[in-house]
Structure 1
């Protein structure tokens, strides 16, 4: 009797989740799409504000925003071995 009761409970939970997901899935998707649209709009608005704040540059003018860091290599890494190919 316990096995039949367990199977019945599992089936009811499965079908309950299935029915609830059909009701709430469209609402969840609408909410996610709305949030994504808001984020995109905010990023686009920030980009437009940034473009408006920067003065127009003359054609051919070059600006460097970031100076690359110089990478130093260790010269004492290993020993150079000269080799010769043998045919």
Structure 2
């Protein structure tokens, strides 16, 4: 009798979750999509407003790489092979 009761409870819980997921899950996903869309629109608006300067002006945001100097490596020593 305990086995039938356990199976009945599992089936009831399964169908209740299935029923709820059909109605609640789409609302949850819709709310998440709206939040992401809102953040994206805010970022686009901020980026559009932050562009100070003339149209067509190129702005470089980072410094160019400077070549490394070899001054710290040491002195060059010329050598010859010695035959035994």
Instruction: Give the TM bin, normalised by the shorter chain.
Output: 0.5 to 0.7
Structure 2, gaps ≥5 residues long = 74-84
Quick check: which has more Rg, 1 or 2?
2
Q: For 1:1-87, list aligned pairs within 5 A.
A: 1-51=1-51, 54-56=52-54, 63-67=59-63
Separation (CA, whole Å) in 2 of partners of 1:25 and 1:69 = 51
Residues 35-72 of structure 1 show CA distances to partners (whole Å, capped at 9, x for unaligned) of 11111111111111112xx211676xx65421256697
Give the TM-score, by structure 2 length.
0.65
RMSD after superposition: 2.6
Structure 1, gaps ≥5 residues long = 76-87
Q: Where do 4+ consecutive residues of structure 1 move more than 6 Å?
A: none
The alpha carbon displacement at 1:19 in A equals: 0.4
Separation (CA, whole Å) in 2 of partners of 1:63 and 1:32 = 35
How many residue pairs were aligned?
69
